[in-house]
Structure 1
Amino acid sequence: MSFADQLSALGVTLPDAPAPAANYVPYVQVGNILYVSGQISNGPDGFILGKLGASMTVEQGADAAKSCAISLLAQVKAACGGDIERLVRVIKLTGFVNSTEDFTDQPKVINGASDFLVAALGDAGRHARSAVSAPSLPLGVAVEIEGIFEIK
């Protein structure tokens, strides 16, 4: 099954790739490696704001992380001229979780992105990963994730 078909089966339509919010580019391609800038948690009602360990549950954080993964794939699709099938695999994610000092479930939050990518891409979605805490994130969002991808 194609990646587009797998996404459709999950009920996901990739949005237009979000525009950069400052002086940077959304992605850089070096050979067959694509480096995608951090994507912040964003849903149909706007930015997903909050702090894990205070105003958000792990489940809400995981949903925010999934939204970041969808934006990452939208950037990959844009970098591939609209053809998501050029994606070979996800190499690595680095996830940042807006969390309190005593919150320690950052990996469970970033699982929202990792689980989605494996569901959408199969083995091509399996990746190396880091999940770290941040005392705050841009605009007060709950999660930001950057990614490295192999494309053809």
Structure 2
Amino acid sequence: MTDAIDARLNELGLSLPDAPAPAANYVPYVRSGDMLFVSGQISMKDGAFVTGKVGTDLSVEEGAAAAQLCALSLLAQVRAACGGDLGKLKRVVKLTGFVNSAGDFTDQPKVINGASDVLVDILGDVGRHSRSAVSAAALPFNVAVEIEGIFEVE
């Protein structure tokens, strides 16, 4: 499946970043049996944070693009946890998405769709997952989006 995932990424014009290192005293992922819990991945593009409040500084579309970047970082962490073999990914189980958003902003689900949609685009049914999309008054480094994930792996 790794070759199929790489081919699909190429078709979509996407690539996975290197798995980001943790920014504090935690690990990027924990494996328990066949479940992999990936710490929150923040919106980064070309080594820089994607920052601002969605609904004030950023549009829903810009927020969704930031969420897509988080999803790619999640997959990079899964790849690292599986020794470089994304073929060991059996299922995206759950995402929890946090959107740095203005107090009256209510389109968090549309923002986190950026992550959900790209995972399904890349992985097909393996990428379908349960999900939460919530507002946050602030996120680390003023990033626009942070997403954590639970994955089933071989």
TM-score (norm 2): 0.96
For 2:12 and 2:89, the matched residues in 1 are separated by 18
Shift of 1:22: 0.1
Query: Counterparts in 2 of 1:65-84, with a 5 A limit?
Result: 65-84=67-86
- What letter is aligned with 2:10? S
Which stretches of structure 1, 4 residues or longer, exceed 4 Å deviation after superposition? none
Percent of pairs with identical residues: 67
- What letter is aligned with 1:65? A
Q: Could you say which residue in structure 2 is the equivalent of 1:117?
A: 119
Shift of 1:45: 5.2
From 90, 94, 101, the counterpart of 1:88: 90
- What letter is aligned with 2:115? A
Aligned length: 152
TM-score (norm 1): 0.98
For 2:144 and 2:103, the matched residues in 1 are separated by 14
From 35, 40, 45, the counterpart of 1:33: 35
Q: Could you say which residue in structure 2 is the equivalent of 1:55?
A: 57
Shift of 1:44: 1.4
From 106, 109, 133, the counterpart of 2:108: 106
Native 8 Å contact 1:90 1:126 kept in 2: yes
Note if 1:150 corresponds to 2:152.
yes
Which structure 2 residue ranges, 5 or more long, are not aligned? none
Native 8 Å contact 1:92 1:147 kept in 2: yes
